[in-house]
Amino acid sequence: MKNYKQFNIAFLAFTLPSLLSLGLFNIAIDPYGVFNSPQILGLNSLKSKQFSKVRLFKAVNITQVKPKTLLLGSSRTDLGLNPEHPALSSQQPAYNLGLVGPNIYEVKRYLEHTLKNQPELETVVLGIDLFMFNEYKQNAIDFTESRLEKENITSSDLLNITLSTSAIQASVETIRSSKTSDAYYLYHPNGLRYVYQNKPDRSARARFKGSINGLFNNDEYYHNYKLSAKFLQDFKDIVAICKERNIELKVFISPSHASQWESLYQSGLWQVFEQWKRELVQITPIWDFSGYNTVTTEPIAQEMKNYWDSSHYRQEVGDLVLDRLFDTPENKVPDDFGTLVTPQNIESHLANIMAEREVWVKNHPEIVDFINRAI
């Protein structure tokens, strides 16, 4: 028995300091941007692994920032809407709580998480996408209810980001990225994702083909689509929550590239897309930036002003969206970019988009062929 006791003491004497050192190392490097650790001699300046924990670090950031303005939505919001936009200058702090590939239920829960930590929330800007309402769109693998509506990080999350093998790997990768300047997706402290050095990782055709193929061959996005009554109810809940709390809510359909909308058409989902819009406007007015307009029909080229790929718009487009939503004094938004849609004008609006599509398709048969080969 004495030998066992001595062994246990020796084991703990060795293990506990090792675990403590490991935890302190991961906290110091802070690869997921959870602890607000200072930069250490350039070792942790580029947090290249933060993108993999977006639902974790943004849940934690909300408890620290306590924003007055919240930008919600999918990765289009995450990558495209700047919380520092002049239209939001009087409503600071603002935070970009865009998530990667969420359904609308996840978005609702993150709104509720924010309200738990910031009951004085004043403004919500919500970008929505058709896939977020797909009945087959499951909660993301990194989504967990246990971390939401809490004021502090949960013990399980804390252990995962300080003492796990994946945390060690993330810290090592952070050091490597910081030393070699080898990074792609990074985040600003206000939650806005950006592309490091503003350089695309592939040719434009490869990026557009990849995004179209990925979305339209995935059952949780558009390959197997069914409009969900439950997710429509979650959207109603968001509207009701904001109304009950006197929160200004602005909802918009994300301005993906025309090739994205044409992919919906070629995949036989256009009627579903239109019906989705009809359902939405029965709940609340919606700003629609989809379709074939001056911004979304930018020619596909290596150097693009408006788009990263068929799905994701650049911050320049996000600025135009916010200019339109808040009618800024220096508003320079093209006249055909963004329409406020209500039950009264929904049918004429849908007809206008179809007319614009016919013109675009006639003038761009090579892009339609490219889309059909990509789907």
Contacts of residue 16, Cβ cutoff 8 Å, sequence gap at least 6: none
Quick: pLDDT tens for 190-228. 999 999 999 888 899 999 999 999 999 999 999 999 999
User: What sign has the CA pseudo-torsion 270, 320, 308, 131?
Assistant: negative
Contacts of residue 49, Cβ cutoff 8 Å, sequence gap at least 6: 31, 32, 170, 173, 174
Average pLDDT over residues 246-275: 98
Determine the pLDDT at residue 12: 42
Determine the pLDDT at residue 144: 96
- Separation CA 280–CA 342 (nearest Å): 9
Quick: pLDDT tens for 89-127. 999 999 999 999 999 999 999 999 999 999 999 999 999
Determine the pLDDT at residue 5: 56
- Separation CA 307–CA 370 (nearest Å): 17
Identity at 297, one-letter amino acid code: T
Domain of residue 61 covers 2-374
Percentage helix, strand, coil, to 5, in the chain?
50, 10, 40
Q: Is the pLDDT of residue 332 over 70?
A: yes
Q: Is the pLDDT of residue 249 over 80?
A: yes
Q: Which residues pair with 286 in a beta bridge?
A: 341
Determine the pLDDT at residue 261: 98
Per-residue pLDDT band at 287 (split at 50, 70, 90): very high
Count the alpha carbons within 13 Å of 14 in the hemisphere toward its beta carbon: 5
Chain centroid, CA 45 distance in Å = 22
Q: Which residues pair with 288 in a beta bridge?
A: 253, 339
Determine the pLDDT at residue 6: 53
User: DSSP states of 222-234 as a string?
Assistant: TSS--B-HHHHHH
Per-residue pLDDT band at 135 (split at 50, 70, 90): very high
The percentage of residues in the chain with a pLDDT greater than 90, rounded to a whole number, is 87
Per-residue pLDDT band at 8 (split at 50, 70, 90): very low
Average pLDDT over residues 216-244: 97
Maximum mean pLDDT: which of 109-113, 302-306, 331-335 = 109-113
Residue 190 in tokens = 């206000």
Q: How many domains is the chain built from?
A: 1
In degrees, rounded to 5, the angle at the alpha carbon of residue 184 between the alpha carbons of residues 218 and 30 is 105
Quick: pLDDT tens for 348-372. 999 999 999 999 999 999 999 999 9
Determine the pLDDT at residue 21: 74
Per-residue DSSP letter, 134: B
Edge-to-edge, what's the strand order for the sheet holding 123-128? 94-98, 69-73, 123-128, 248-253, 286-288, 339-341
Quick: pLDDT tens for 311-320. 999 999 999 9
- Separation CA 104–CA 108 (nearest Å): 6
Element (H, E) at 9: helix 2-29
Average pLDDT over residues 251-257: 98
Residue 113 in tokens = 């998480």
Average pLDDT over residues 4-9: 50
CA distances from 354 to 128, 265, 348 (A): 21, 10, 10
Maximum mean pLDDT: which of 14-18, 33-37, 162-166, 289-293 = 289-293
Identity at 196, one-letter amino acid code: Y
Name the pTM for this structure.
0.94
Mean of the per-residue pLDDT values of the chain: 93
User: DSSP states of 303-355 as a string?
Assistant: S-SSBSSSSPBPHHHHHHHHHHHHT-TT----TTS-EEE-TTTHHHHHHHHHH
